[in-house]
Structure 1
């Protein structure tokens, strides 16, 4: 995932100065996507050069000049393109969270298909874990090592069940 897509999402939520954006980013998207303030400013310059955002100079009334960034049509189009693009199998949750926030701002733009694809991927993974459990951990007197290995697998099963529960609830919200 590109930090640019996270920044476009934040700017669509509210046009901001670089400083305001960095602070908002720290309090929201920054919980699942880390970026330094330097990275944010560097990416804002790149996005402006690409025609994705425009910079509005404010503060001509004697106050300190501020640059407020607004998303342009090309930036909106880029975000929509990225959201609709399928990720890799088991795509990171970070990208999915940004895609969901983008959908919240832009309206239905394809996250449903992506979430359905990821649900199928996680269902397959859970089925694989359960098959391994049935095959490898059905003995009555497992060794200590087998019990520990089973606990590792149980953690994977639990994580998949939790993810799928969250994803199905989210699918209903879409």
Structure 2
């Protein structure tokens, strides 16, 4: 995934200032594509230089923020990128390597980190479920809402997977090692 395309998507959903975009990003796209506020601002400048977005003059008054909106060329770039065929990326997960290492060298306290992660996954799942209950009623969703809901469902399924996996890993790690 590409940060520029994530930002264009967010701006097409609703034009806004850089600070508002960064806040919105943290509460939606940031769940599956992390970016710092500095990266977002830097990328907005690049998008503007590329002619994909434009910044609007701030409304009069002190402290008003400059809003951004997507230009037709930015919409076309997003359309091109979205239609591109992409292969899945191989999983690269340090935790899996650490688990393999513990299998070779014996107990290291990895269970404490997995227990900590389990709590984090439970909290994230609860948040996703709250968002689902608030934003996605069971019936009457438009195609756009259904697509957004699919993204959330993927997050719910991933958190559910990690909760189940972590519980299983903790059960195995609790066993005494073979001599």
TM-score (norm 2): 0.50
Correspondence for 1:104: 144
Specify the SS of the correspondent of 2:26. helix
Partner-residue secondary structure (3-state), 1:74: helix
Query: Cα–Cα, structure 1 residues 64 and 81, in superposed 2: closer, same or farther, change >3 Å?
Result: same
Q: How many angstroms does 1:92 deviate by?
A: 7.8
**Equivalence for 2:34:** 34
For 2:57, the equivalent position in structure 1 comes to 57
RMSD of aligned alpha carbons? 2.6
Q: Is the 8 A contact 1:15 1:68 kept in 2?
A: yes
- Please name the residue that 1:47 is paired with: 47
Work out the CA distance in 2 between the residues paired with 1:104 and 1:87: 22
Q: Distance in 1 between matches of 2:84 and 2:55?
A: 28
Number of the residue aligned with 2:71 = 72
| Gap runs ≥5 in structure 2 | 92-142, 148-167, 170-179
Residue equivalent to 2:84: 85
Kept after mapping to 2: 8 A contact 1:57/1:65: no
CA 1:47 to 1:32, structure 2 compared with 1: closer, same or farther past 3 Å?
A: same
Counterpart-to-counterpart distance in 2, 1:87 and 1:21: 27
Could you give the per-residue CA deviations for residues 110-161 of structure 1, whole angstroms, max 9, x where no partner exists?
A: xxxxxxxxxxxxxxxxxxxxxxxxxxxxxxxxxxxxxxxxx99xxxxxxxxx
Shift in CA distance, 73/83, structure 1 to aligned 2, threshold 3 Å = same
TM-score (norm 1): 0.51
Matches within 5 A, 1:149-168: none
SS in 2 for 1:57: coil
Aligned-partner SS, 1:47: helix
Aligned partners of 2:144, 2:79: CA distance in 1, in Å?
Answer: 12
